Amino acid sequence: MGRSGPAAGGIDVDLTAVVVSVRDDEPQALVVPAAPSGRAALPSGPLRPDHGTLQAGLRSWVEQQTRRRLGYVEQLYTFGDRPAPAGDDR
């Protein structure tokens, strides 16, 4: 998936959805084909300024890539790394 460039303030925010359901007592995750390899991937994409919120962006990417509308959405984790300042060897 192409990147749209850094959001305001020079920060890239990527959104990834893990959509889980249970069918016949078996957990299932919603996946999409990842071009060009064709291997399965989670619905994802960059947060864009027109999304307004993380949830709106996530809903937009899932709907575009799966043609399914999400019901209840819960943010379980947020991961983030900032580049270390020059000379910081941590």
pLDDT digits (tens, 9 = 90+) for 27-59: 999 999 877 787 889 999 999 999 999 999 999
Average pLDDT, the chain: 83
User: What residues does each domain of the chain span?
Assistant: 14-66
Residue 87 has pLDDT above 50, yes or no: yes
Cβ proximity of 29 and 19 under 8 Å: yes
Q: What is the pLDDT of residue 1?
A: 40
Q: Please, is 43 exposed, middle or buried when counting C-beta atoms within 10 Å of its C-beta (0-12, 13-18, 19+)?
A: buried
**Where is pLDDT greater, at 11 or 2?**
11
Q: What is the pLDDT of residue 42?
A: 92
